[in-house]
Every structure is written in C-alpha cells, then in structure tokens.
Structure 1
Amino acid sequence: MVRVFFAGTPECAVPSLRRVACAHRVVGVLTNPPAAVGRSGKLVHSAVAREFFRLKASGVLPESASLFVPGRLDRAFYDAVEALRPDVLVCFAYGRIFGPRFLALFPRGAINVHPSLLPRWRGSTPVPAAILAGDCETGVTLQYIGEEMDAGDILAQSRVQLDGTETTGALLSRLSLVAADLVDDVLVGVERHTLAPAAQDHSQATFCGKLCREMGLADWSNPAVVLERKIRAFTPWPGLFTYKDGERIAILQARSCESSFVPLAPVGTVLAADKNGVFVQTGDGVLSLLQLQRSGKKPLFWRDFLNGSPLLLTGRLGV
C-alpha cells in the first residue's frame, strides 16, 4: 500500500481526504493555518484540519499520521515530511504553489485534483468560470503537478453534465464527491503501476483568475443571461448586488426572461412587478428578480421584499 501525503484546505477537499484515509495509508496531512472568521475574529481550523481530527479520533487515521499547518514551507517542514517516507502527494485546493524541493519528496509523483476538464479552465476559479461561460459540462481532472500551473499530464477525468441552474457552492459540493471516487481509482493505479498519463493539448487551454468582491457589483448594461449566470457563479461569494438610494441590495435569485416590454428604458430601470418577479431592464433583455436581501436583513422572496421595502424596487437600480 502506497504511503499518501494529502494537502488541502477547504470543505471541497474533505471527501477526498476521507476516502483516501479509509482506503489507503495516509502518513501526513498539510493544510493552511487557522484563519480568523466572523466579526469576533476567532481563529478556526480549516475544514481539512477538522476532518483530520475527526478521522484520527475515530481511529480511521493511524496515531502516527501527522498534521502540518505551517505558516511557510521551509527546510524544517521539508525535513519533517521527508521523515514520513511518503510515496505520493495528493493535493486538492491547498491554496499555495509547491516548489521543486517539496515535489521531489514524492517518488511516485505529485497529483493535483482540479475541478474542471483540463485543459479548459486552468487557474484558481474553474467552477465559477464554467458557470459564467454557460458551459454544458464540466468535471474533475487528476493530473501530475508540474512547473506550470494545471498543465501537467492527465491521469484521469470524470465528466459532469450541467443544466444551467447550478451555483458555484452546489456544483463544487457535487464535484467534490466525484473527485473522491477519482482519487481512489488513481491511487489504485499508482499501487498497481497501471496509470497511463496523457499530455494536455496546450493549444486548447483556457484560463480563469481569482474572484474579488468588486466583481459582485451588478452592471445592468450586461445582458440578462450574463447577470443570471453571475448570480449563480458568485454564490456563495462574492454574490451579486446593486444599490438603490445608497443602500446595498443583494440579488440572490433571478432569471432572464423573454420580455414584452419596449426596451427604451435606461438599463437598471425597474419596469414592472407581477407574479413572476420584479423586472429590470438590462443591456439585452430583462432580468426577473426573485429573491433579495437588504444589508443586515434576512433573505426575502421578491413579493415579501416589496411588502416591506416597496420604494427600494422602483425607479432605477445601480444609482
């Protein structure tokens, strides 16, 4: 049985860690240090660290398994990992780039779990990128870690069909379960020496960058279909929001729709409200707002929102 060193941080990596721990031998786990959360700034362990503690307490992980939460990857860290005599690295969203000194510690290779069908959507945000692009399918790729990000040889892929209703949060949860199965299969291939790596077609590569809070500001000159995709792609973060009379309004659900309105109103204009929602003029088509949230308030469906704050959905949004 190969000796696996696992690296990951967020919740999406937890199913893979759990599967590896149950079916293979995990000698160490690497994750980011505790981070401050909420208004209190309380330090909280990463999802992977919390799962490590659960697996160890339940006896799934051996007592000898080590947890690493270094602020930086230095020589002392490398020496400690080397002492574990790992065979292979499995990495899923650890959050930092590994250098050659670290990758050289794994004689059977360093494997990355990437939630897209590489070479499409190399980079840090492949799930929202697929939603924003209106892709009909995405998936999970396991590939060797190389010098260039997400460009290593492919070991396995699993495809997932999209129906155009997915949010980033829901889709990433779904892909995390697919990833766990794929990781298990690939580690069996490592043990049996049956893997057949395939080079990526670099000419077909597409790329995605980091999200930032400012991306969530609704640009009403965008087409309605783009704004609807942004709502789903930016859920849970950064969300899509607009302003009315200086107050921030989060748009949690909406749909683009065929409009019978004459498109002469300025973009951002609230055109009407009926049983199907609140209709807002966009750069191309109309967006029907279905669920909204004022700052510091609970989410409300549009009818309840209008009952409590009727003046916030009149005139023109985004001003």
Structure 2
Amino acid sequence: MKKSARLIFFGTEDFSCQSLAMLLEAGWNVLAVVTKADTRSGRGQRHTLAPVKELAIKHTMPVLQPQHISEIDRELAIFSPTHGVLVSYGAIIPKTIIDLFPGGIINLHPSLLPLYRGPSPIETVILNGEEQTGLSLMKLSLKMDAGPVYSQKNVSLSGQENQITLSTRLASLGGQFLVENLQQITNESLSPMPQKEEKASYTKLLKKEDGMIDWSLPAKTYERQVRAYIKYPRSRVRLGEHEVIITKARIAANAKDGYLIKQCRPGWLELVEVIAPSGRLMSGADFLRGYKI
C-alpha cells in the first residue's frame, strides 16, 4: 500500500530509535528528524550524539537540534509535512509546531493512558508493582499526554523487570505497534477516542535524591526501587562511611552471616550486587569482605 504521508520524527532517547528504524524499514517517508542537542559527559566531557541523531546520519537524513523547539517552525514548514511522529522527545511541543502538521502529531507513549502520564511511566509501573503496562498511540495535544487515543496494546509484567529490560522490550513492541497502526491513522480510517480524565494518573520527573535509601520503608518497596531506578537515578545507600549503588536486590527471610542483608520496615533486603566506591561491580558478599561497615 502506498504511503503518501510526509513525516517529521521527533525523538531523543534510545527508546525512540526502534520506532524510527522500523518506520524507515517499512518504507515511510521520514523527511527529517528533530532531536535534542548533543551532550558532553564523563571526565573529559566527551561529545555524545543523541541515539536518534546517529541513526538519522546513517540514513543521510536532515537533523534539526533546536535549543528551544519553537525556534524551528519555519525550518519545519519548508518540508511541507503532513504528520509528525513523536517518541520520547523530552520536551513539550508548542501550538506553533503542532499547527504545522495538517494530520497532527502522533505520539507513542509507554503506558495505558490515561494511567501514568508524564516523564517516568516505565519506572513508576515497576515501583508500583503493576502486573501489566502497555503502549498508547495518541494524537498530541497541548496538555501533557492528554490527547485522544488511537489504539492501545497491553503488555504483561512478570515482576522481575528493571527499567532497562522493560524499556528495551517496550521500545521494540512500540515500534511494531506504531508501524502496524500508522497507515490507518494517516489515512484517517482510525479515529482517536478521548481519554477519561477522571482516571488519569501522573508520574514525576526523577531526581538524583529519589534514589537514596534510608531503610524506613518495606523491603518490597526497596526491591522494586532498585529495579525501577537501575538506569537513573540509581538506588544509593550509605554503608558505614561508604556510599554504594545497589544494582540487584532481593527480599530475604532474615539476616544471615556472610550476606549483605539490611533490615527494613518491615522485612529484610539482600543487596545481591553493588557498585563499590571504587566503581567496581561486585557481589554484596564480596563487598562485606572488602570493606568495613
């Protein structure tokens, strides 16, 4: 089937790459990519390209990296796009940009809207111990994640996922889901349905301090936190004079000699794997043998 839509893709994170790659593989006409500015990281402030930019360069596509998204309305208009596709871009899109697309901007969001609107739906479903999450394709509106929904896909959870594994899984499923529905959306044979505002829930922008653990909460809460925050902000705890990052934990029955197990309120949590102050990844048992706490 001929794909007549002229698309602009908005995305920044690793999560976005699968969708862009699958759009290109399926033969969609992606005119340009809009992504965030390159970053500098590490001690040497090494120049790092946004993952989506790397993919766009590989396919010799124009890349726009505005400091503020509203700056590029004229540049985007030159492409005469019909639709936008937005996947994990990381900024609010203003009306001046939305209005450039006669067919609107289609947004892939990793939750079953109106649940878990906002910037951290993947982390929050893990924190809350949900048994399922999902994907939503919606028409972008001025209010965050509140636009009408074209289609949704349920995704079951095992209770063992961390942010990285769940994000990777949803990115792959999301790219497929987008491609499966995009033809119907762009030819207007699939109409979006309004969200039920009374059922809306929201997630927050995570900060580094959200990862600090003080053992005042139940063990199951901290076990989920370790999995939810494995990428950022990472779960941190002070053990004696040392601050360590917990990368893997499990609920324990009680304290046990030779194992790094901490009492919570209630319950016990074993720190199975940690990153020591030296930066080395090691088992909790090895940490006990090598550090005084």
TM-score by length of 2: 0.95
1:22 deviation in Å?
Answer: 2.1
What are structure 2's unaligned runs of at least 5 residues? none
Task: Work out which of the two has the higher radius of gyration on C-alpha atoms and give 1 or 2.
Answer: 1
1:43 aligns with one of 41, 47, 52: 47
1:52 aligns with one of 41, 51, 56: 56
Deviation track 1:55-95 (CA, whole Å, cap 9, x = no partner) reads 22xxxxxxxx42101112345x2111111010101001111
Superposed, 1:67-146 pairs within 5 Å as 67-74=63-70, 77-146=72-141
Partner of 1:11: 14
Give the 3 Å change call, closer, same or farther, for CA 72–191 of structure 1 in structure 2.
closer
Task: Work out the CA distance in 2 between the residues paired with 1:199 and 1:257.
Answer: 45
1:212 deviation in Å?
Answer: 0.6
Task: Work out the CA distance in 2 between the residues paired with 1:199 and 1:107.
Answer: 19
Give the 3 Å change call, closer, same or farther, for CA 285–74 of structure 1 in structure 2.
closer
Task: Work out the CA distance in 2 between the residues paired with 1:110 and 1:199.
Answer: 16
Task: Work out the CA distance in 1 between the residues paired with 2:70 and 2:136.
Answer: 29
Q: Is 1:26 aligned with 2:30?
A: yes
Superposed, 1:211-226 pairs within 5 Å as 211-226=206-221
Percent identity at matched positions? 28
Task: Work out the CA distance in 2 between the residues paired with 1:184 and 1:110.
Answer: 15
SS in 2 for 1:272: coil
What is the root-mean-square deviation in Å for CA atoms of aligned residues? Answer: 1.4
2:222 aligns with one of 222, 227, 233: 227
Superposed, 1:144-159 pairs within 5 Å as 144-159=139-154
1:272 aligns with one of 251, 256, 260: 256
CA contact (8 A) 2:134 2:153 kept: yes
Partner of 1:187: 182
Partner of 1:66: 62
SS in 1 for 2:21: helix
TM-score by length of 1: 0.87
Deviation track 1:300-319 (CA, whole Å, cap 9, x = no partner) reads 1122222322x23xxxxxxx
Task: Work out the CA distance in 1 between the residues paired with 2:85 and 2:279.
Answer: 41
